[in-house]
């Protein structure tokens, strides 16, 4: 489960909330620079250790700036910000997390594809210094919403390239797993799951707890097994998309039964 489910609770409160639900595999959203300080990281480690949680992935609070900080045509800004991302990646590695999830540049962006891939690969190298894989998410209205774009990145960067596949983001962009996995199955290292109603709804109503909508999770997990997917499935919702913690527990237990 992702701490995003409880945002805008503080990061430590959100992490503790999912810990108390019995979740053993977590994704963390860090939400402000002070949360990278040693004292705060120690709080997160204590919760992790007290509850026996595997922190698999981390989302940076810089996601909304990536078009400007990483993928703009002002190259000097990229050089200035790369060490700041490196500092973040050091913390991610210290927490034992495997993945650092970025959204990339909004459409249309200002740099060409070659530069985009070069910048992403530079960030990958920073992550590798700390044992962390930088992964590109398929976020709607960003370049990565298109599976063909991510496939291009994979071809240019090579076999080290990894992506995070998010069910709701794919739906919002008009794609499904049938569009992504034939092109990108070996590159998918991490999956965000949520459900959706039977009929198309406004964006704010298209992300509901697994088991409350019509998505075929049993079929999806079966397909992933055929593709030898060995990563985690993370429930990533918003605080407005569920009403009580029982819904989260039921979703967790349903998915555990289906995936096992």
* pLDDT tens-digit readout, 26-77: 999 999 999 999 999 999 999 999 999 999 999 999 999 999 999 999 999 9
pLDDT at 158: 97
The fold adopted by the segment(s) 3-259 is TIM Barrel (3.20.20)
pLDDT tens figures, 154-213: 999 999 999 999 999 999 999 999 999 999 999 999 999 999 998 766 566 789 999 999
pLDDT at 248: 97
Max CA distance (Å), the chain: 50
- Do 99 and 56 contact (CB within 8 A), yes or no? yes
Question: Is the model's pLDDT at 5 over the cut of 90?
Answer: yes
pLDDT at 198: 87
Q: Average pLDDT of 92-104?
A: 98
The model's pTM is: 0.95
pLDDT at 199: 78
pLDDT at 14: 98
Q: What percent of the chain has pLDDT over 90?
A: 95
pLDDT at 203: 60
pLDDT at 206: 83
Return the C-alpha torsion angle 201, 203, 209, 214, nearest 10: 30
Under the banding of pLDDT at 50, 70 and 90, the label for residue 260 is: confident
Domain segments of the chain as ranges: 3-259
Q: What percent of the chain has pLDDT over 70?
A: 98
Looking at every residue in the chain, the average pLDDT score rounds to 96
pLDDT at 201: 62
């Amino acid at each position: 489960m992702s701490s995003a489910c409880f945002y805008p609770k503080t990061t430590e409160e959100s992490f503790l909330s999912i810990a108390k639900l019995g979740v053993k595999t977590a994704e963390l959203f860090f939400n402000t620079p002070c949360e990278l300080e040693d004292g705060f990281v120690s709080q997160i480690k204590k919760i992790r250790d007290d509850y026996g949680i595997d922190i698999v992935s981390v989302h940076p609070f810089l996601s909304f700036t990536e078009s400007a900080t990483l993928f703009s045509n002002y190259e000097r800004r990229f050089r200035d910000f790369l060490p700041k991302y490196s500092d973040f990646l050091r913390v991610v590695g210290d927490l034992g997390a495997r993945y650092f999830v970025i959204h990339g540049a909004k459409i249309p962006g200002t740099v060409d594809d070659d530069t985009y891939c070069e910048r992403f690969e530079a960030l990958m190298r920073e992550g590798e210094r700390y044992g962390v894989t930088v992964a590109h998410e398929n976020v709607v209205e960003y370049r990565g919403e298109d599976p063909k774009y991510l496939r291009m990145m994979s071809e240019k960067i090579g076999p080290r390239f990894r992506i995070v596949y998010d069910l709701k983001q794919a739906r919002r962009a008009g794609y499904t797993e049938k569009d992504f996995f034939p092109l990108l199955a070996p590159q998918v290292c991490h999956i965000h799951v949520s459900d959706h109603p039977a009929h198309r709804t406004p964006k704010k109503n298209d992300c509901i707890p697994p088991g409350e909508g019509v998505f075929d999770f049993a079929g999806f997990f079966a397909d992933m097994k055929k593709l030898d997917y060995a990563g985690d499935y993370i429930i990533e919702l918003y605080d407005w998309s569920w009403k009580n913690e029982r819904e989260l527990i039921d979703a967790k237990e349903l998915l555990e039964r289906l995936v096992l």
